[in-house]
A and B are shown apart, each in its own frame.
Chain A
């Protein structure tokens, strides 16, 4: 127990040191006048945070909820498509190509189009967040469902297992690790997608992205940097939340 805690502390200490060194270096560079005016120092960002965290939170809440719903929608659609491809392998190329196309659309340009179609609001932010996180989840699902050990596949063949049994009892459990990897890779994308949608006016005046753009265009350097910092923190946080949740699930599904 203590050994485990110690190991945990050691594992965490390296990244903490790196972050501390970066922040320290940044602050020092700022004081030495090495950075342009458009870059706020960590101290300034902190002061801004203590003054306007109410504002920040009011804008962050819709962003986070859009990111969550977008992520969930993307995951559900990707799971369904992954299963469709598992049942009908001939569709593999079609689904892949369409997914690459969707993932390649510039989200900044897509937002105004969606606004015209869906009206401003949460639906646009959620859609963009879903599109931004969709691709890694889909790839994780499709590749995971294909990643079956040869002898296990032969076992199911010797036993004349119907396709649905093979998918349910072999392919889905085998797909868990890569699907989890895809979900983790997509977590930050959902947050950034929601911010992009807000930035380009998809969500109205509320949202972290909207706050960021209004701060930027009114030359409020500390507030701009506070929103940038918040975006980073939320993206990293999303990654860790997904990691914790999927860790629970995959331990239950395949303790092996």
Chain B
């Protein structure tokens, strides 16, 4: 694995850039179904992710984290409120295939090999052809899967499957990358390795990222800003800036700043009682 390069496109601290850059979520509310069986999933959620920034969403199960990502990806339409990505509605970006999505259960197609899974977005966008082979080859080495090009997903470990899933999500160089608990099913060691690799990939590509996670340490290690949500309906309970510099390293997990951030998230989630 090559070391993380000092890239000028590295995600900057939150707050950089204007309103039209990055992702703006404004008063987003979502209700599923009709009364009397309606489910009120989100209530007036607002946040902003600067261009190239990294925001983590954390909160108890069922508080609407996946719903927020689906709204950002134009897989759902909000009941109220507005989403803008670089000043445009998500539907415009989705039609241009500028959104990358990493699913919780990797969502790889089991009948396709690693290369063919990564190739899928190129095929769907009608961009199959000359530069295709080199793009896919670059992606494979970017996520460190050389030698497994022709393996089927069932022959890979959980961590390798998520690498394929990440490679597939960035095949078309998306403007935003949405990750729904991508490492939730992995062990701690694999998870931390992939955390650092994800940061390296994002730094190389300058992509804006929103990550849903259940892990306090993952949120603190990866994000510029952590948004803590409360359930039923989902509301923004707290916003926590992460004071760690970039590029992040696993060694930072031993610093007081890291512990402090983790504790702030914990308090926001569970209250200050022990």
Contact = CB atoms under 8 A, between A and B. Distances in A.
Q: Are both chains from one complex?
A: yes
Among A151, A155, A157, A165, the most chain B Cβ lie within 10 Å of the Cβ of A155
B152 A160 contact: no
Given A158-B100, A159-B97, A169-B123, 10 more contacts: A149-B107, A151-B107, A154-B107, A157-B94, A159-B120, A160-B94, A160-B97, A253-B111, A254-B111, A256-B109
A254 B99 contact: no
Contacts of B73: 154, 158
B89 interface: no
Nearest to B153: A256
16 contacts: A154-B70, A155-B103, A156-B124, A158-B75, A159-B97, A159-B120, A160-B95, A160-B97, A165-B123, A169-B124, A253-B111, A254-B110, A255-B111, A255-B154, A256-B109, A256-B154
Contacts of B96: 160
A241 interface: no
A255 B103 CA distance: 21
B73 to A, nearest CB: 5
A152 interface: yes
B124 A161 contact: yes
A173 interface: yes
A158 B71 CA distance: 11
Interface in A150-206: 151-152, 154-162, 165, 169-170, 173
Nearest to A252: B111
Contacts of B99: 158
A151 B109 CA distance: 10
Interface residues of A, number: 20
A256 to B, nearest CB: 2
Size bin of chain B's contact surface: 20 to 34
B111 A173 contact: yes
Interface in B96-127: 96-97, 99-101, 103-105, 107, 109-111, 120-121, 123-125
Interface string A129-149: 000000000000000000001
Contacts of B105: 151
A71 B73 CA distance: 45
B74 to A, nearest CB: 8
Nearest to A156: B124
A165 B104 contact: no
Contacts of A254: 110-111
Contacts of B75: 154, 157-158
B111 A159 contact: no
Contacts of B107: 149, 151-152, 154-155
Given A173-B109, A256-B152, A158 B94 contact: yes
A154 B74 CA distance: 10
A173 B108 CA distance: 13
A190 B105 CA distance: 41
A37 to B, nearest CB: 57
A244 B103 CA distance: 35
A155 B101 contact: yes
A162 to B, nearest CB: 8
Contacts of A156: 124
Contacts of B121: 159
A255 B96 CA distance: 32
Nearest to B106: A151
A159 to B, nearest CB: 5
Contact of A256 (B70, B104, B110): B110
Interface string B141-171: 0000000000011100000000000000000
A159 B124 contact: yes
Contacts of A158: 73, 75, 94, 99-101
Nearest to A162: B124
Interface string B69-89: 010010100000000000000
Nearest to A254: B111
A160 B124 contact: yes
Contact of B101 (A154, A162, A169, A255): A154
B94 A169 contact: no
A165 B120 CA distance: 10
A149 B103 CA distance: 12
Contacts of A256: 109-111, 152-154
A158 B121 CA distance: 10
Contacts of B97: 159-160
B65 to A, nearest CB: 15
A151 B103 contact: yes
A169 B111 CA distance: 10
B104 A170 contact: no
Contacts of A154: 70, 73, 75, 101, 103, 107
